[in-house]
Amino acid sequence: MDFSKISLKGKVALVTGASRGIGHASALAFADAGADVVLASRKQADLDAVAAEIKAKGRKGLAIAAHTAKIEDSKMLVEKTMAEFGRIDILFNNSGTNPYFGPLMDAEEWAWDTTMNVNLKGQFFLSQLVARIMKQQGGGSIINTSSVGGLKASELGIYNVTKAAFLMLTECMAKEWGQYGIRVNAICPGVIKTRLSEQLWKQPEVGKIAADNCALMRLGEPEEVAGVVLFLASDLASYVTGEHIVIDGGQMVGAPSFLTKAA
């Protein structure tokens, strides 16, 4: 996709979960639009590969291994970003996990704690650190990766609870930080073909069921999410805050009505 018509020239974007999937695609989109990009997730080697892609686009890419749930790591991430670039204009809070897939009836405390810490607690404290900087700068854009699971119940119980809470956190941060010129928005992807969701799409018959439940009758690609993330990060969305955008190929509206297309 050609994102070059949206300009993020002179801006610095910090992306978590940047090593693959939605974060990777969005980091490349930010670089295409002219931003320098700080890349975070747990594995340095994976991030180094993405940083090389950013550099090949003529932008700076800084790869920093950091665990989202460790507040000390978030502090280090922000300190290193400030030491290198001296500002943060965009925070894409995108890392996430779903370590337990099973009935709520059987879920154990470790699953609750891990999912809450990686999908919600870490994002809150990183946002707080970055918002203090954005307040000094006079503004910025924070984008949070929630999910359609934050809007609609499914079998991903604890995960969905974290994503629903992330939407409310988005609204509360937007309400408090708008006065500082900080916009806070969320995205709610449906099934996007990444490693996180591969159980849902790698087996063709399972993927077909998921696709047939969407109005567009197909699953999404990470680049199709990146376009919306880029919009929210950019000045095109300068009057948008406290909102969420669903990117699900019509999963929320459901399977096509009056289907005439051959299977």
> Smallest Cα–Cα separation from 42: which of 63, 19, 23, 65?
65
Rg (CA), the chain: 18
Selected binder of ligand NAP within 14, 118, 143, 232 (CB under 6 A): 118
Which CB, 94 or 234, lies closer to ligand NAP?
94
Q: Amino acid identity of 177?
A: W
* Residue span binding ligand NAP (CB under 6 A) among the ranges 82-90, 126-134, 177-185, 186-194: 186-194
Selected binder of ligand NAP within 7, 34, 42, 180 (CB under 6 A): 42
Task: State phi, psi for 98 to the nearest 5 degrees.
Answer: -145, 80
Number of residues that bind ligand NAP (CB under 6 A): 29
Selected binder of ligand NAP within 69, 161, 182, 214 (CB under 6 A): 69
Dihedral over alpha carbons 6, 139, 78, 115 (to 10 degrees)? -80
* Binding of ligand NAP by 207 (CB under 6 A): no
- For residue 170, the SS3 value is helix
Which CB, 33 or 191, lies closer to ligand NAP?
191
* Residue span binding ligand NAP (CB under 6 A) among the ranges 131-139, 194-202, 203-211, 238-246: 194-202
Q: Show the CA angle centred on residue 120, arms to residues 69 and 35, nearest 5°.
A: 80
Which CB, 146 or 234, lies closer to ligand NAP?
146
Give the list of residues 6+ apart from residue 71 with CB closer than 8 angstroms, or none: 122, 125
Selected binder of ligand NAP within 26, 197, 234, 251 (CB under 6 A): 197
* Binding of ligand NAP by 160 (CB under 6 A): no
Residue 219 CA to chain centroid, in angstroms? 17
Which CB, 137 or 243, lies closer to ligand NAP?
243
- Catalytic residue at 100? no
> Which structure tokens are listed for 180?
């500082």
The Cβ of residue 103 has, within 10 Å, a number of other Cβ atoms equal to 9
Which CB, 95 or 234, lies closer to ligand NAP?
95
Q: How far apart are CA 55 and CA 68, in angstroms?
A: 24
Residues labelled catalytic: 159
The residues binding ligand NAP (CB under 6 A) are 16-23, 41-43, 46, 67-69, 94-97, 118, 145, 147, 189, 191-192, 194-197
